[in-house]
Amino acid sequence: MNILLQTYFDSVDAYEELVTYPVEAIGLDFVHDQGRNLDQVKKHGFPKDKILAAGVIDGRNIWRSDLGERLSFISEVIADVQPKEVWLQPSSSLLHVPVAKHPSEQLEEKLLNGLSYATEKLAELTLLKEGLTKKAAAIDADINEAAQALLYLKKSSQKNKCGSNSGTQQSFIEKDFKRPAAFEERLRIQNESLSSRFFQQQQLAVSRSLPKCAVLVKNGAKMSGQMQSTMSLLRKKQNDGLIFKKKLVWMCSYMGNLNVQTWLNTSVRS
């Protein structure tokens, strides 16, 4: 069995031990490692009998990559080590980003051009492969297009809206992080407004009855009066205007072992 040992989200701590493992390939994150993985590869080398799965495209953001910089980086890695093969891949799974851009997205065209979702990131990897296997000039047009898109993003107020608020964090003072009332007082107010005792009393009946209700409804059987009352309670509370109270009802329903009062105490302490 051929095994790929994949690491991601950071650099590897025990690199020297990792490369000795009996696996076919090792995946390293060269995006979020802050340069440490590359330093270790240069310092300790990489096994010539193993495949290096190089995570060179950011799998966790939605922006285009600097293809010119990434191509130079990969070329540097390959020049320093001679692995069995090099596989180009995202730095992590692409489940963190949307599937693909769509022309119907209501964004400025230049801003949309700076986005890179899962489909576009795979296309970027294909371009990098072409730049390595052929001459870099083969993807010059794509490198220039990516550079222009990134330059626009750097100047775009739409992408950097929070930049104008950079001084806001500095304006906080110590009292901004303190509650205006003691925990005991907050707990009393919350208990009164949410009627937590009622929910605590209903917890056991709801959690025990709901699974039975689901089975009976599925089988077309009639529910007992108690079960009908339980379902009516759920429907009533589901439509309740207090969102927090509604969440408590459903937590009681699906988490029968949850102590509501304990949960309340924990929630108001934070």
pLDDT tier at 247 (50, 70, 90 boundaries)? very low
Helix axes 243-254, 183-194, angle to 10 degrees: 80
- Residue 202 DSSP symbol: H
Q: How far apart are CA 83 and CA 81, in angstroms?
A: 6
Domain boundaries, the chain: 4-101+111-156, 177-269
Q: Is the pLDDT of residue 223 over 70?
A: no
Q: What pLDDT is stored for residue 71 in this prediction?
A: 95
Query: pTM score, two decimals?
Result: 0.59
Whether the CB-CB separation of 41 and 19 falls below 8 Å is answered with no
Q: Is the pLDDT of residue 35 over 60?
A: yes
Reading the block at residue 36, the tokens are 């440490």
Regarding predicted confidence, which is higher, 167 or 147? 147
What does the mean pLDDT of the chain come to?
76
Whether the CB-CB separation of 30 and 38 falls below 8 Å is answered with yes
Architecture of domain 4-101+111-156: Alpha-Beta Barrel (3.20)
pLDDT tier at 111 (50, 70, 90 boundaries)? confident
Q: What pLDDT is stored for residue 176 in this prediction?
A: 75
Q: Where are any strands of DSSP class E within the chain?
A: 4-6, 25-29, 51-57, 85-90
**What confidence tens digit (pLDDT) does each residue in 45-72 have?**
999 999 999 999 999 999 999 999 999 9
**Largest interatomic CA distance in the chain:** 77
**Residues in contact with 94: Cβ distance below 8 Å, sequence separation at least 6, in sequence order:** 59, 118, 121, 122
Q: Is the pLDDT of residue 251 over 50?
A: no
Q: Where are any strands of DSSP class E within 49-113?
A: 51-57, 85-90
pLDDT tier at 116 (50, 70, 90 boundaries)? very high
